[in-house]
Structure formats: C-alpha cells, structure tokens
C-alpha cells in the first residue's frame, strides 16, 4: 500500500531556531515529491522534487530528496512566527488508466514562539 | 484569475440529509480530485477524475459519489450524511503532466467546511 509518513507530528521552537522536517515514502511509479505549507485555508506550494541530491531553495526554506533511501527533508532556518503552519509532504505517482495521484502525509504542525 | 472554486464554503447538515459540493476550475485541467482533511490525518483522497466522464475511487470513497459531466466541474455528493463526514473538503485540479511548467503539480480550492449534526 502506498504511504507517506511525516515526522515529527508537531514541533514547537523559538524564533531564530533551525528546524528539519522529515518525509519518508513507499509508492510505486514515483514521479515527484512535493512540499506544501498550510495555514488557515488551502495548502500553498513550496517545492517539487524529482531528482536525488539536488537542493531546492527559496529564501530560508530548502529541501532535498533521496530516492534511494526514499525520503525528503524540509529545512527552515532562522524561523519566524510567520512560519507557524502545517507542513504537508505529498508524493505524486502514476495510476493505471493515466493521470497522477497524490498521497499526502499527515503533516507536521510547526509552531514558532517569540 | 479564479483558479479552483468550491461552493458552498460552509454548511451544516442533519444526519441523513444529502448534499452536493461543487468544484469548478477555469484552467482547463484534465485531472480533478476531492480530498477531506481531518485533524491529525493530513489530506485523504476521496475520489478523483482523469478526464471528463471518468471517475475513480481514492482512499476513503465510502458514503460519497462524484460526477464529472463537464471538464471544468467535479461534483461531490453525500448520499446520506453521517457525523463521521464532518470535515474540511478540498477540491483540487492538475494539468496533464506534459503541461506542468511551474513545478506545482496541483492547485487547491479554498476548502468547504461541513458539519453533520
């Protein structure tokens, strides 16, 4: 059965700390791994990863994929209170009959305190 | 730029009532999805569609039906609402893989909050 597991489930840090969020997966016909940030409403896109070892970076956020060990990490440096959110990992894979599906992890709830 | 629009945004139902959630996308995407999100459970796929006139079951399809009569619309029906269907429902759409340029694979609506009492 396809699955995506995120850890930790929740995390509380202080402003300025660096955090690492983990995502491991088991799927067939893997296409990509995606990270999303969810505040009050719909998830917003952060990164899409398809190749091992290539870091994607956007400001204080970065992410990397290891397709051999089947995991990805999302790093946030110098955290700010605005980083407080649920971070979702999703794995995209091909399905029979065409098209793609995404399976999401349970998410990591990050809270950044002053 | 509407993107993905869901209606209604909020609804309270009594147990046993039926209702339909409507999802509309104006991006000419081939694929559409309905997810539900519960606390601590992430997003779980209910049903999806790879094209007009086709639908398929996701992880948690029981108690729901869907239809995709037009490419831009994907309807989610609750046949006989139960308290266990209290959740936030997200519709999403994605283009054919060959037309993904931005890196983002899937576009979400704003969510529909459903309470069944």
Chain A residues interacting with chain B (CB cutoff of 8 angstroms): 6, 9, 31-32, 34, 41-43, 45, 47-48, 88, 90, 92, 95, 97-107
Three-state DSSP class for residue A43? coil
pLDDT in the model for residue A21: 98
Burial of B39 (C-beta count, 10 Å sphere; 0-12/13-18/19+)? exposed
Q: Is the pLDDT of residue B102 over 70?
A: no
Of A31, A42, A104, Cβ closest to residue B42: A104
The residue-averaged pLDDT of B24-36 equals: 93
pLDDT in the model for residue A31: 87
- A29-87: pLDDT as tens digits: 888 899 999 998 889 999 999 989 889 999 999 999 999 999 999 999 999 999 999 99
Question: Do the Cβ atoms of B33 and B93 come closer than 8 Å?
Answer: yes
Q: How far is CA B78 from CA A58, A72, A94, B33, B46, in A?
A: 40, 36, 28, 15, 11
Place of tokens 């899409």: A48
Q: How far is CA B56 from CA A42, A45, B68, B77, in A?
A: 23, 25, 11, 14
Q: HEC profile for A51-106?
A: CCCCCEEECCEEEEEECCCCEEEEEECCCCHHHCEEEEEEEEEECCCCCEEEEECC
- B36-64: pLDDT as tens digits: 999 877 899 999 998 899 999 998 999 99
Of A48, A90, A101, Cβ closest to residue B103: A48
Phi, psi of B14 (to 5 degrees): -95, 150
């Amino acid at each position: 059965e396809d699955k995506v597991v995120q850890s930790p489930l929740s995390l509380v840090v202080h402003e300025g700390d660096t955090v690492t969020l983990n995502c491991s997966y088991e799927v067939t016909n893997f296409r990509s791994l995606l990270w999303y940030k969810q505040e009050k409403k719909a998830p917003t896109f952060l990164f899409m990863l398809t190749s091992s070892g290539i870091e994607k970076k956007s400001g204080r956020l970065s992410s990397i994929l290891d397709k051999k060990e089947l995991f990805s990490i999302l790093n946030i440096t110098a955290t700010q209170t605005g980083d407080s959110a649920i971070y979702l990992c999703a794995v995209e894979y091909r399905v029979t009959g065409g098209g793609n599906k995404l399976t999401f992890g349970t998410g990591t709830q990050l809270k950044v305190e002053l | 730029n509407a993107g993905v629009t869901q209606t209604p945004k909020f609804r309270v139902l009594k147990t046993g009532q039926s209702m339909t959630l409507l999802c509309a996308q104006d991006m000419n995407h081939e694929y559409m999805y309905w997810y539900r999100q519960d606390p601590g459970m992430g997003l779980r796929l209910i049903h999806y569609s790879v094209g007009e006139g086709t639908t398929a079951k996701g992880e948690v399809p029981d108690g729901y039906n869907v239809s995709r009569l037009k490419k831009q619309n994907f309807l989610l029906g609750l046949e006989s609402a139960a308290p266990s269907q209290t959740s936030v429902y997200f519709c999403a759409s994605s283009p054919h893989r060959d037309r993904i340029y931005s890196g983002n694979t899937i576009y979400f609506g704003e969510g529909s909050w459903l309470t069944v009492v």
